[in-house]
Amino acid sequence: MQHLIKTIKRIMTILISVILLLTIAVFLFMNHPQFGKTPAGKRLELLQQSPNYKDGKFQNIHHTPTVTEGYSMTGVLYDFIFKSFPRTKPVDVIPSVKTDLKNLPITENVLVWFGHSSYFIQLNGKRFLIDPVFSGNASPIPNSNTSFKGSDVYSAEDMPEIDYLLITHDHYDHLDYPTILKLKPKIKNIICGLGVGQHFDYWKFDASKIIEKDWNESFNIADDFSIHTASARHFSGRGFTRNNTLWLSFILQTDNFKMYLGGDSGYDSHFTEIGEKFNGFDLALLDNGQYNLAWQAIHMLPKEGLKAAKELKTKRLLPIHSSKFKLANHTWDEPLKTISALHEKDSSSIALITPKIGEIVKLNDTTQTFERWWEGLN
C-alpha cells in the first residue's frame, strides 16, 4: 500500500511539474512582441465611446456567429486536426511576375497583388500598402502555416516608400509582425481600426504616424483625394481575447476614381448601403477564399462575393484572400475556379479581373484582360 501511495505521489508530482512547465512556456510565448498589446489607458477610453463597442467588445452590425447554426466548433477543430482533404495546397509552383515597384513612375495608377490579401496601390501620386504579409507564414507559430511555393517572390525589401499602410484588421494573415518591423523605415503613415494602434505603439512606431478610425469616417490626404472607412462583417484579436480592436474596410476616392477595399468580411447588408452611399465603384477587392459553410458569417462564399459586387455597383471585381495560405479545407484553386464559373453564367456587366501575383493591374484601363493562370496547375 505504501508503495502504491509513493507511486501515485510520484506521478502527481510529474504531472504538476509538466503542467507548470507548459504554463510557463505558454506564458513566455504569449508575451512575445508579435502578439502586440491589448488597448489600454486613453486608447481604451476612446474606443469605448464608439457606437460599435458594446458589452466590452466591438460588435458587427448584425448578429454574427463564430460557427454557423448546425455546425460546432468541436467539429470544425476535428476536421482541421484529424481529417485529410485533397489538394488544399498546390504541388506546382504558383506563377508570378516580379514587378520593380521602386521604379514605377509615380504618375502611373496601378495595383499589384501579392497573394492572399496583400497588395500595393499607386494612385494619384500616393503609394499604399494593404495588409502586407511577406514572412511566408500566416500564424504566430513558426512554420505552422507556410505560404504556397512560388507565392513569396516579394519581400519588404522590394517595397518603395509607402505613404499609407492600411490595415483592415489585426489577424496574423493581415498584420504580420516580422513584415511590419522590416517595413518600419519605409512607412510614412498608418491607417487602422480603433485599438489596432496599440500594437504599433508597442512596436515602437512614431505615434504621430498612427491614424485610428471607426467605421464611417472620412478625411482628405490631398485636395482631390479622400479616404473613407466603412464596416465589414468579421472579428479581430491576436491573443485569447476577441474583438478588442476594430475591423474595417476602406474606400479610396479621387475626383475620377473610386476603389472599395473590402478586407475580410462575411456577406451582409453593408454592401448595399456602401454601394448606395458612394454611388458605385470603379474597382472592388473582395474576400474570396478560406471560406466554409461552417464559418460563412465571417467569410463570403464565391456566390456571395459576386452578389456583394453587384450591390456595391462596381465596374470591376478583383477577388482576393486566396492562392497563398491554407486556412480552409477547400482545394487551393477552388475560389478562383468557382467565382470564374459563376461569373461566366452571370448576366451582369461587372468585369472579373484575376492577375497573377505581381502582375500590374492598370487602374484606368477597363479593357485590360487577364489569363486564368491557375488552370492546369496541380
pLDDT of residue 8: 64
For residues 66 and 19, the model is more confident at 66
Kindly state the DSSP code that residue 66 receives in the 8-state scheme. Answer: S
d(CA 311, CA 14): 60
Percent of the chain whose predicted confidence (pLDDT) is above 90: 87
Q: How far apart are CA 265 and CA 127, in angstroms?
A: 24
Instruction: Output the CA–CA distances (angstroms, integers) from residue 378 to 246, 333, 373, 375, in the order listed.
Output: 38, 9, 12, 9
Evaluate if residue 2 carries a pLDDT over 90. Answer: no
Q: Could you give the CA distance from residue 92 to residue 34 in angstroms, rounded to a whole number? A: 31
**How many Cα atoms occupy the beta-carbon half-sphere of 64 within 13 Å?**
22
The H-or-E segment that residue 9 falls in is helix 2-30
Cα within 13 Å of Cα(288), Cβ side: 29
Q: How confident is the model at residue 348 (pLDDT cuts 50, 70, 90)?
A: confident
pTM: 0.93
For the four alpha carbons of 286, 290, 291 and 296, in that order, the dihedral sign comes to negative
pLDDT digits (tens, 9 = 90+) for 110-157: 999 999 999 999 999 999 999 999 999 999 998 889 999 999 999 999
The DSSP result for 231-257, as a single string, is --S----SSS--SSS---EEEEEESS-
Structure confidence by residue, pLDDT tens digits, 226-281: 999 999 999 999 988 999 999 999 999 999 999 999 999 999 999 999 999 999 99
Banded model confidence at residue 347, pLDDT cuts 50, 70, 90:
confident
Give the model's confidence band at 14: pLDDT under 50 very low, under 70 low, under 90 confident, else very high: low
Q: CA–CA separation, 288 vs 318, rounded Å?
A: 9
- Answer whether residue 75 shows pLDDT above 70: yes
More confident residue, 271 or 12: 271
- What pLDDT, on the 0 to 100 scale, is given for residue 81? 85
Give the C-alpha separation, 304 to 291, whole Å: 11
| pLDDT tens digits along 211-225 | 999 999 999 999 999
Task: Give the tens place of pLDDT for each residue, 163-195.
Answer: 999 999 999 999 999 999 999 999 999 999 999
Q: Would you state the pLDDT for residue 7?
A: 65
In this predicted structure, the answer to whether residue 18 has a pLDDT above a threshold of 90 is no
- pLDDT given at position 32: 85
Q: Would you tell me how many other CB atoms lie within 10 Å of the CB of residue 133?
A: 24
Spatial separation of the C-alpha atoms in residues 274 and 77, rounded to whole Å: 35
